[in-house]
Amino acid sequence: MDGHLIHLNREEEYSEGASRGRSGRVEGMDKDLLQLVFDNMYNGIYIADGQGVTLGVNKTFEEMSGIPAEELVGRSLYDLVGPDNYFSGAASLVVIERRAPVTATYSTKTGRKLLVKGKPIFDPDGEIRYIISTIWDLTVVQYQQEIDADMARDHLLAEEDIIACSDQMGQVIDLALQVANSDSTLLITGETGVGKSLLGKMIHRASARKDRPLMQINCASIPESLIESELFGYEAGSFTGADRRGKPGLFEMADGGTVFLDEISELPLHLQSKLLGVLQDKEFFKIGGRRVRTVDVRLIAATNRDLTRLVAEGRFRADLFYRLNVVPISIPPLRERREDIPLLVSYFLDKFNRSHNTYKTFSGELIEHLSRLPWRGNIRELENTIERLIVTGSTGERLLFSLVEGEEIREDRPLPEQLAEFEEKILLQARRRYGSTRKIAAAIGISQASVARKLHRIDMEEKRGNGK
Ligand SMILES: Nc1ncnc2c1ncn2[C@@H]1O[C@H](COP(=O)(O)OP(=O)(O)OP(=O)(O)O)[C@@H](O)[C@H]1O
Ligand SMILES: [Mg+2]
């Protein structure tokens, strides 16, 4: 085990720099003690130099990644990263590119999921001297028991990763990690597509509950009459039409784990009271049940609406709001953290190039252009836009620009034709923004069925057009 830290101490200047001017922190700690601290930290630590060469990892990192230090130390991260390599990505390499702290999640070839916060340490000339990465384990052990390593890997690679470099997101993720292990109720707020669901999942996986279920439900997408039975289940024979054997609810299935209630603002008032009861007493009754049930769940709720306003309007229970709002986590819209845009663009470009087997790149000009757009649908819209650019934008960047910008209005063509085209654009933009037909319907005020029908027609026409 000795030797992981050798490089750290060999660099005389570094240890001098670390102790000089900050007396009391390192002075008096000998090398063995530092090594002991290094290896016994709760987090994994990965140290690379300014070129991306691995200088050392601590014992915790070896344990959480399942990769021995010998396989990493002395090797360049550029050689360790790739779809069939040790790591699916590396925060350190992004740190080198951006010269700023970066947070990202990655999977490893050993079937682990890691959250990495990489931080550059500069030398007096402003060059990156070291990159110190602190690592959290987000692996869910269940996967590995059920399926073999290859499948676990594919599964992990298909999962959505988080990546961010803005201060605002850095703070959000820090807060999320701080509270992950407490059992307090969390309320995640933010516009559509900012990453609320993704963060909720990350919090669950950073918590001690990670090997128990994360049960997710969207309160807006389930008919009001069914939400109660979805959440709390019902006893055998409790109402006509119900399954005779009864049914467990989400809370029961999540026992020991986490319940994620998306779009909590849409929860009907009478269920808000019932939910409050569960939060306060950890007890509830199933529908038609007389026996009180106890559960141990952590609740994470999310909303893109202003709950304080709904409380003022009497549409959301104040006591529930206060109960939920113990730790508010608010994710800022993408347009308020534009530094994240180029980073996300290259992340999604890479992801979709991989899945579509293409090798497209974007010019600096296009990336700049993308960085200036309002992104009302936030990261979801950015992600969908990039996928669309990759799939359809094979004929040069003029076309790419027009896809994200919208074209000028012309009056020398039949109106119905232009209207149809305009309708198509609205629908496609709404799809990039909102993702689901339900959300699109709510946003543009037509029925979900017509949204689905119209989009289907557009897709069919496009297919025919592409096949020509
Ligand atoms: N920081 C990030 N890095 C990479 N991908 C992200 C990030 N944030 C969000 N995404 C991606 O953007 C998409 C939208 O995220 P998500 O579904 O979590 O948003 P949301 O806030 O829950 O939206 P809604 O309010 O509509 O439910 C997802 O595909 C998600 O993987
Ligand atoms: Mg969501």
Domain end, chosen from 330, 362, 395, is at 330
Q: Whose CA is nearest to atom 31 of ligand 1?
A: 160
Residues 145, 92 share a domain:
yes
Check whether 407 has a pLDDT greater than 70. Answer: no
Tens digit of each residue's pLDDT (9 = 90 or more) over 44-84: 999 999 999 999 999 999 999 999 999 999 999 999 998 78
Please state the atom number of ligand 1 nearest to the C-alpha of residue 192: 25
Question: Per residue in 149-159, pLDDT tens?
Answer: 666 667 766 78
Q: Atom 16 of ligand 1 has which residue's CA nearest to it?
A: 195
Question: At 444, is the pLDDT very low, low, confident or very high (cuts 50, 70, 90)?
Answer: confident
Q: CB burial class (10 A; 0-12, 13-18, 19+) of residue 42?
A: exposed
d(CA 395, CA 321): 51
Residue 245 shares a structural domain with residue 344: no
382, part of any domain: yes
Q: How many domains does the chain have?
A: 3
Among 118-132, 229-243, 422-436, the least confident range: 229-243
Using the atom order of ligand 1, give the atom closest to the CA of residue 382: 12
**Which domain CATH number covers 22?**
3.30.450.20
Residues 283 and 178 in one domain: yes
- pLDDT classification of 403: cutoffs 50, 70, 90: low
CB 91 within 8 A of CB 101: no
**Atom in ligand 1 nearest the alpha carbon of residue 104:** 3
Q: Note whether 116 and 99 are same-domain residues.
A: yes
Say how far apart CA 66 and CA 113 lie, in whole Å. Answer: 11
pLDDT of residue 247: 82
Q: How many CB atoms lie within 10 A of CB 299?
A: 22
Of 194, 340, 387, 431, the one to substitute when testing ligand 1's pocket (max ligand atoms within 8 A of C-beta) is 194
Judgement on whether residues 260 and 367 belong to the same structural domain of the protein: no
This prediction has a pTM of 0.82
From the number of C-beta atoms within 10 Å of its C-beta (0-12, 13-18, 19+), residue 59 rates as middle
**In terms of pLDDT, which residue wins out, 247 or 179?**
179
pLDDT score, position 151:
67
Long-range CB contacts for residues 438-443, cutoff 8 Å, separation at least 24: 438/220, 438/221, 439/192
Distance (Å) from CA 19 to ligand 1 centroid: 42
CB count, 10 Å around CB of 430? 20
Share of the chain above pLDDT 70, in %: 84
User: Which is the closest atom of ligand 1 to the Cα of 198?
Assistant: 18
Q: Which ligand is nearest to the CA of 329?
A: 1
Same domain, 230 and 86: no
Q: How confident is the model at residue 13 (pLDDT cuts 50, 70, 90)?
A: very low
Which pLDDT belongs to residue 240? Answer: 62
**Beta bridge mates, 105:** 115
Is the pLDDT at 382 greater than 70, yes or no? yes
Q: Ligand 1 centre from 162 Cα, in Å?
A: 9
Cβ atoms of 317 and 276 closer than 8 Å: yes
Residue 298 has pLDDT above 90, yes or no: yes
pLDDT value, residue 221: 86
* DSSP-derived pairing of the beta strands 186-189 and 327-330: parallel
Relative to the alpha carbon of 432, which ligand is closest?
A: 1
Which range, 135-144, 312-321, 435-444, 459-468, has the best average confidence (pLDDT)?
Answer: 312-321
Q: Which atom of ligand 1 lies closest to the CA of 262? A: 27
327 pLDDT higher than 80: yes
CATH of the domain at 319: 3.40.50.300
Q: What is the pLDDT of residue 2?
A: 43
Which pLDDT score, from 0 to 100, does residue 420 have?
83
Distance from Cα 134 to the centre of ligand 1, integer Å: 23
Nearest to residue 120, comparing CAs of 109, 112, 131, 110?
131
Note whether 270 and 212 are same-domain residues. Answer: yes
The arithmetic mean of pLDDT across residues 361-369, rounded, is 85
Query: Nearest-CA neighbor of 197 among 323, 379, 11?
Result: 379
**Rounded Cα–Cα distance for residues 187 and 329 (Å):** 6
Looking at every residue in the chain, the average pLDDT score rounds to 85
Provide the token pair at 442.
Answer: 């709510």
Q: Is 13:62 a contact under the CB 8 Å cutoff?
A: no
Which residue has the CA at smallest separation from atom 8 of ligand 1? 195
> Same domain for 152 and 190?
no
More confident residue, 223 or 26: 223
Q: Separation of 86 CA from ligand 1 center, angstroms?
A: 26
CB atoms within 10 A of CB 343: 20
For residues 262 and 228, state if they share a domain: yes
Higher pLDDT pick, 19 / 360? 360
Task: Report how far apart the first and last C-alpha atoms of the chain are (Å, whole number).
Answer: 63
Task: Kindly report, residue by residue over 123-170, the tens digit of the pLDDT.
Answer: 999 999 999 999 999 988 764 455 566 666 677 667 889 999 999 999
Please name which ligand lies nearest the alpha carbon of 435: 1
**Nearest residue by C-alpha to atom 23 in ligand 1:** 193
Distance from residue 3's CA to the centre of ligand 1 (Å)? 41
* 304 and 318 fall within a common domain: yes
Picking from 142, 161, 180, the residue at the C-terminal end of a domain is: 161
Nearest atom in ligand 1 to the alpha carbon of residue 379 is: 12
Confirm whether 1 is domain-assigned: no
Q: Which ligand is nearest to the CA of 196?
A: 1
Please say whether the dihedral angle defined by the alpha carbons of residues 218, 220, 222 and 227, taken in this order, is positive or negative: positive
Residue 256 domain flag: yes
Q: Does one domain contain both 176 and 215?
A: yes
Q: Which of 330, 354, 385 is the last residue of a domain?
A: 330
- What's the gap in Å between 216 CA and the centre of ligand 1? 15
Mutate which of 94, 157, 160 for ligand 1? The one with the most ligand atoms within 8 Å of its CB, which is 160
Backbone angles phi, psi at 194, to 5 degrees: -80, -15
- CA angle (169 as vertex; 163, 174 as ends), nearest 5: 100
Domain that holds residue 342: 334-467
- Of residues 188 and 286, more confidence is placed in 188
pLDDT of residue 404: 53
Ligand 1 cavity residues, CB under 6 Å: 160-164, 190, 192-198, 262, 304, 379-380, 383
CA of 378 to the centre of ligand 1 (A): 8
**Ligand closest in space to the Cα of 379:** 1
pLDDT in tens, 243-289: 667 788 899 999 999 999 999 999 999 999 989 988 888 888 888 77
Mutate to test the pocket of ligand 1, among 165, 194, 198, 265 (most ligand atoms within 8 A of CB): 198
* pLDDT of residue 350 exceeding 50: yes
Does a structural domain hold residue 174?
Answer: yes
Cα separation, 366 vs 382, whole angstroms: 13
Residue 446 pLDDT exceeds 90: no
Whether residue 329 contacts residue 177, with contact meaning beta carbons closer than 8 Å, is answered with no
- Determine the distance separating the centroid of ligand 2 and the alpha carbon of 61, expressed in angstroms: 31
- CA separation for the pair 258, 281 (Å, rounded): 16
Kindly state whether residues 321 and 354 are assigned to the same domain. no
160 alpha carbon to ligand 1 midpoint, in Å?
A: 9
CA distances, 309 to each of 218, 274, 312, 338, 400 (Å): 21, 21, 5, 28, 40
Sheet holding 214-218, edge to edge: 214-218, 258-262, 298-303, 186-189, 327-330
